[in-house]
Chain A
Amino acid sequence: MYVEFALQHAWLVPLLPALAFVAIVFLTRPWKMLSAILAVGSMALSCVIATLAAYGIFTNPEYAEKPLVYATRWFSLGMPGMPALQIDVGVQLDPVSAMMMVMVSFISTFIFLYSIGYMDGEDGFSVFFSYLSLFGASMLLLVISSNLLQMFVAWELVGLCSYLLIGFYTHKISAREAAKKAFVTCRVADFGLLLGILSLQIVFGTLNLTELSERIAHFEEFTTFGILTMIAVLVFIGPIGKSGQFPLHVWLPDAMEGPTPVSALIHAATMVVAGVYLVGRTMFLFHEVESAMQLVAVTGAFTALFAATCALTQREIKKILAYSTVSQLGYMMLALGVGSLTASMFHMWTHAFFKALMFLGAGSVLVALHHKADVWEMGGLVKKMPITAWTFVIGGLAIAGIPPFAGFWSKDEILAATFAEGHYVLFAMAAFTAFLTAFYMWRMIFLAFFGKENPDNHPKESPWTMTVPLLVLAIGAIGAGWLGTPWGNVWAEWIYFGHPHHADPNFIVMGLSVVLAVAGIGLAYSMYLKDTEKVKAKAMAEQYSTAYRVLVNKYYIDELYLWFNHALVDGAAKIFYLFDIYIVDGIVNGIGAFAKVSGEGMRVFQTGRLQNYVLIFFIGVLVVAVLMAFVGPSNAVPVIGGVK
């Protein structure tokens, strides 16, 4: 009965946090604790409903084939009955959205809880929770959307929340700039997505996902394929921005300016996977276009590798995690590009746990060290902060891909899918990225938690509101992957595109990925833990100083964009403005000036002497009279006294 209720009222899932947002903003803002409880409570309730609904979906096999959709008209234009444009809003529940709904609400609940401890005593405590609630609501709305425009609405709203939360420390210039950068970068990408959505509406006459998937499947019959490719590429531009794919990844590392729970929630676990989710949702479109799929795969693989190299040399703990997020998102995209929705969603699921865990761990460290972020200045934290450190280690094992931790199973699934589809180059890139991932992650862990203690630091373990989420997420980071082991792949039974496929366990790929992971950790161990003075690391930086500098500066992409923005966009703006005030306005003022000058010329006739005027007037009358007498129209009949 509860399950049925949850299935039919899944719209409550985003609505509850939205109500919490409204309530906090208008009512409970002065009472900090009440606001926090409202936010956490509403999200927890959403999580319960989401879980019940998901239970309903997963116990009823028919939903895997035919999603549960209910929708209502949002607005429509044109004749009633046969609208020229109708947009619906509604709920579409299928295994993918159910999984995502549970994941988002579950992780959000714990991050909200964690925030109570993390944000303790900060200005704008209640406001922070209202933003978080709004974010949760938007993200959940995105997840359950049955319509692309509805999805776009939620997509932009999460972008807004991201903007607000990154820029939460409004007094910091860096936060302000980072927030702006995030919004504008995503905006550029959304422009592409919007064009894609417009084209879909124009070509197919609907934006409802289920109808679109039917119509696109039968599209081939009556038109050429070029337009579909265009649409797919346009739609993909959106995820490039939101999911931080190259070349629009630049905002994501800067987004770490926000409070750490935000980084964990938005920039690791939930929002940034929205792009991946969108591509997964519109798989029916990409599936029809081979070239678009390749674009997705190549973008994903390249981003994975690219971001991993950037992460190698970063010093700030959250920056490293940010680049690792970009890299992992690349993996997810790669999986989608090679056609495996299963693997992509699986990695998204496991990644959410271990990445949220690591971010929260990083936040715990930052609180303990009073926001000293450089990993080189940490060290030996494991003794003072055992829970944080060991849960962090679990996260590190998971992301490096050590069995049986969660990340291993999902990463293996991606590698196997890539290999099975015959993309050997991409496979090589992905495998090498796995090695790099293990290396830079453990570099960070060894530097921060092990080795010599830094005497300047006086860390102590965080309060329970922060450690409990860490422990819960650590359990997830260990066990979340067991759903999709090659020996009992529950995951692939449910979440797939087209038809479920059971790949036999590929032990070569599996073995290779374990070897690479261990090698990465081993290298990090030898360079950063065993070698206490880090001689080798410093020597390498010296030896390859050019490469090192390029990596530290993240390939100078930020500088390039900055130049583009300042020199080209602002320059062009200046030119437009000058054109406006000197040419367009010049013409306008010129007309005014002409009137003035000609007036100056005419006024010499204004002598002020009445008799002159009379004389001129009389001459005029005379001229008219003469003209009328001699050259006037011959048919002019004189009319005198009303008689002709």
Chain B
Amino acid sequence: MDFPILLTILLAPLVASLIIMFIPKDENILIKSIAAVGMFVALALSLYAYFAYNKDIGGLQFVFGHELPWIKDLGVTFFLAVDGISLPMLLLTNLIGFSAIFASWNVNNRPKEFFVLLLMLIAGVMGTFIAHDLFIFLLFYEVVVIPIYVLVIIWGSSKRVTKEYAGMKLTMYLLIGSGFLLVGVIALFVKTAAIAGHPDMSFTGMAMAAQQLGEFDQIWLFALMLFGFGSLISMWPFHSWSPDGYAGAPTAVSMIHAGVLKKIGGYGLIKIAVYMLPLGASFFAPYMAVLGVIGVAYAAMGAMAQKDLKYVVGYSSVSHMGYVILAVACLNVIGINGAVANMFAHGVMAALFFSMIGFIYEKTHTRWIPDMGGLARQTPRLAVGFMLAAMASLGLPGLVSFIPEFTIFIASFEVYGGVAVIGIAGIIITALYVLRAGANTLFGPPRPEYDHLEDIKGPEMVPLVVLGTVLVVGGCLPSLLFDMINSGVVPLHAAISDALQLGGKF
């Protein structure tokens, strides 16, 4: 058997968190270093996996454990594997996880518990992306929820809403979403097991059997999953947890949540709901498109009205996820490619944004935009990071988010025409609010009360360097990202269009 690279990636943060548990709680630096080392191992390995993945062959690679039965009667195996869609997500998780450790370098309130939970959270998110078994997927998904709750209510911050409210709202939404999802998954499992004649929880096995499901079954199963994944990806109108949740959460959690956790929704939508239930997807596609467009425009307008930096980014991430939903609703090769790529791009960008806002908050003790101004003079590196994220947010070419948005625009404009135009117009509103937030925070006359502020330095630079590099490199060389995603999307799309065999829209 080959070196179990996926398992190692998954275990690296878990082992690190286990080691931290046995370290005295006063060893502040040691705790952080171990967390960093754990994430570094995971990041390095996932980078290796990203470049070692054979894109010409495609399909599932680095397969692990598909012969390891977990729950025999339910056909559950500890099946880990990645394809062109999950590998970028895995890499994203590690990039952001690694940066999040350094973005929380200044956490001195119970650092031990904080990093233990944070590492568990990261491992849980990773698990959802590398699981190729629906049961394992759900299991890791639940693993994610609990640390989030604790992290928010202990280390969060109360502004417009209290951190307890934010944590509760976040967790309840995730749980309700996962509840519906669970019902859908169980129903799907029962039906596919009956069709296949033996229980099988692996993605491919279920998808094979699900092909024989009737249209009606597919539609209501898809509805359940759409609700579950939709509330996770903050699809309008199930988005209201997102701004409050991010505002209440500590920096690292905002980064991970906006950066990758949210993407589990989009990932599941593509790799589970659409892949297994193409007829249901094609039934709901127009509604999804409309909801996506509403999400884009509505959240962008919401962001315009915000004065708290975290709320601005919170609403903006809802808006960007609208594009993902719109893109998935196109159900064609370009659209799904764009959806996955946009999730990656938005993840990097949102994480950078939140880490910079975290530093600003740490230093100035405020996130209220009217209380700031002129920070570019006092903290130039912080300003560079902020503007980089802002520019990526408004889809500046040369940064990673432009090409994904462009592909989404092409796909949606082709399929949905006028409806998509409203979504595309979101780029104007985005430019308005992002630039306004950036300008009022960073530019203008410097305020004397911030003269003593220290610019970010040392470990604090890591998020900027890591994520900024990805932003620029991904923007200049989009084929690095797209060749990978495309190798996963093409077979997926071939499978669903075979199932549909409708022509026309597909």
Q: Which residues of A contact B (CB under 8 A)?
A: 73-79, 84-85, 149, 152-154, 156-157, 160, 167, 170-173, 175-177, 179-180, 183-184, 187-188, 190-191, 194-195, 198-199, 201-202, 569-570, 572-574, 576-577, 580, 584-585, 588, 592
B286 at the A interface (CB under 8 A): no
Q: Are A152 and B397 in contact (CB under 8 A)?
A: yes
Q: Is the CB of A184 within 8 A of B428?
A: yes
Question: When the two chains form their complex, are residues A187 and B427 in contact, meaning their CB atoms are under 8 A apart?
Answer: yes
Closest residue of B by beta carbon distance from A152:
B397
The smallest C-beta distance from B153 to any residue of chain A, in angstroms, reads 16
Which B residues touch A570, using CB under 8 A?
304-305
Chain B residues in 8 Å Cβ range of A191: 424-425, 427-428
Q: Which of A77, A152, A180 contacts B337 (CB 8 A)?
A: A77
B442 near A170: Cβ-Cβ < 8 Å: yes
Contacts A153-B398, A577-B305, A588-B240 given: A180-B333 contact, CB under 8 Å? no
Whether A183 pairs with B431 at a CB distance below 8 angstroms is yes
- Chain A's closest residue to B493 (CB) is A78
- Residues A176 and B403 in contact in the complex (CB < 8 Å), given A78-B490, A171-B374: no
CA A79 – CA B303 in complex, angstroms?
38
**Contacts A77-B337, A85-B407, A202-B414; is A180 near B237 (CB within 8 Å)?**
no
In Å, the complex CA distance between A177 and B440 comes to 10
Cβ contact within 8 Å between B396 and A75: no
Q: How far is the CA of A176 from the CA of B444 in the complex (A)?
A: 6
For A199, what are the chain B residues with a Cβ–Cβ distance below 8 Å? 413
In the complex, per-residue mask of B199-221: 1 if CB is within 8 Å of any chain A CB, else 0: 00000000000000000000000
Contacting pair B432 A569 (CB below 8 A):
yes
**CB atoms of B490 and A194 under 8 A apart:** no
* Chain A residue with the shortest CB-CB distance to B176: A591
Q: Which residue of B lies closest to A585 (CB)?
A: B240
The 7 closest A-B pairs by CB, nearest first: A573-B304, A577-B305, A153-B397, A576-B301, A176-B443, A573-B305, A75-B479
* In the complex, chain A residues whose CB is within 8 Å of the CB of B394: 187
Cα(A574)–Cα(B301), bound, Å: 8
Digitize B428-456: 1 where CB-to-A-CB distance is under 8 Å, 0 elsewhere. Answer: 11011001100100111110000000000
Cα separation A173 to B374 with both chains bound (whole Å): 9
**Bound CA–CA A170/B490 (angstroms):** 47
Whether A592 contacts B172 in the complex (CB less than 8 A), given A176-B444, A184-B431, A191-B427, comes out as: yes
Closest A residue to B383 by beta carbon equals A170
Q: Is B75 in the interface zone, CB < 8 Å from A?
A: no
**Bound: A154/B427 CA distance, A:** 17
Q: Which residue of the partner chain, among B298, B305, B486, contacts A78 with CB atoms under 8 Å?
A: B486
A499 shortest CB reach to chain B, Å:
35
Residues of chain B touching chain A, judged by Cβ–Cβ distance below 8 Å, are: 169, 172, 237, 239-241, 244, 298, 301-306, 332-334, 337, 374, 376-377, 391, 394, 396-398, 402-403, 406-407, 409-410, 413-414, 421, 424-425, 427-429, 431-432, 435-436, 439, 442-446, 478-479, 482-483, 486, 489-490
Q: Please pick, from A180, A577, A585, the residue contacting B301 in the complex, using a CB distance under 8 A.
A: A577
User: Given the complex, which residues of A lie within 8 Å of B428, measured CB to CB?
Assistant: 184, 187-188, 191
Q: Taking A191-B428, A195-B421, A202-B413 as contacts, is the C-beta distance between A75 and B240 under 8 angstroms?
A: no
CB neighbours of B376 from chain A (8 A): 170
| Chain A hits for B377, CB < 8 A | 170-171
Contact status of A195 and B479, CB under 8 A, knowing A173-B445, A183-B435, A588-B240 = no
List residues of chain A with CB within 8 A of the CB of B436. 180
Pick the residue among B240, B414, B482 that contacts A77 (CB under 8 A). B482
Which residues in A have their C-beta under 8 angstroms from that of B479?
73-76
B409 adjacent to A194 (CB under 8 Å): yes
A198 nearest in chain B by CB position: B413
* Beyond A187-B431, A585-B240, 11 extra complex contacts between A and B, CB < 8 Å: A156-B402, A167-B443, A170-B443, A176-B439, A190-B427, A574-B305, A576-B301, A577-B306, A584-B237, A588-B169, A588-B241
B409-A576 in contact (CB<8A): no
CB distance from B247 to the nearest CB of A (A): 12
- B432 and A77 form a contact (CB under 8 A): no
Say yes or no: B432 contacts A157, CB within 8 Å. Answer: no
Query: Nearest Cβ distance between residue B394 and chain A, in whole angstroms?
Result: 8
| Residues B333 and A77 in contact, CB atoms below 8 Å apart | yes
A157-B398, A576-B305 as given contacts; A74 in contact with B478, CB under 8 Å: yes
Q: From residue B370, how far is it (CB to closest CB) to chain A in Å?
A: 13
Chain B residues near A172 (CB-CB < 8 A): 444-445
Instruction: Please name 18 pairs of A and B residues whose Cβ atoms are closer than 8 Å in the assembled complex, sorted by A.
Output: A75-B482, A77-B489, A79-B490, A85-B334, A153-B402, A156-B402, A157-B397, A191-B428, A194-B406, A194-B424, A198-B409, A198-B410, A198-B413, A573-B302, A573-B305, A585-B244, A588-B240, A592-B172
Report A-chain residues with C-beta under 8 Å of the C-beta of B334.
77-78, 84-85
Q: Once bound together, how far apart are the Cα atoms of A175 and B376, in whole Å? A: 14
A195 and B443 contacting across the interface, CB-CB below 8 Å: no
**Complex interface: chain B residues within 8 A of A73 (CB):** 479
Given known pairs A153-B398, A156-B396, A569-B432, the reply for A75 and B483 (CB within 8 Å) is yes
Q: Are the CB atoms of A569 and B435 closer together than 8 Å?
A: no
A236 CA / B500 CA spacing, docked (Å): 40
Residues of the A chain whose Cβ atoms lie less than 8 Å from the Cβ of B374: 170-171
Residues of chain B contacted by A179 (CB below 8 angstroms): 439, 443
Chain B residues lying within 8 Å of A74, measured Cβ to Cβ, are 478-479
Please tell me which one of the listed residues A171, A175, A585 contacts residue B446 in the complex, with CB atoms under 8 A apart: A171
For A203, give the chain B residue with the smallest CB separation: B414
Q: Shortest CB–CB separation between residue A240 and chain B, in angstroms?
A: 14
CA distance A124 to B324 in the complex (A): 40
Q: How many angstroms from the CA of A77 to the CA of B446 in the assembled complex?
A: 47
Q: Which of chain B's residues has its CB closest to A577's CB? A: B305
Distance, CA A173 to CA B478, complexed state (A)? 36
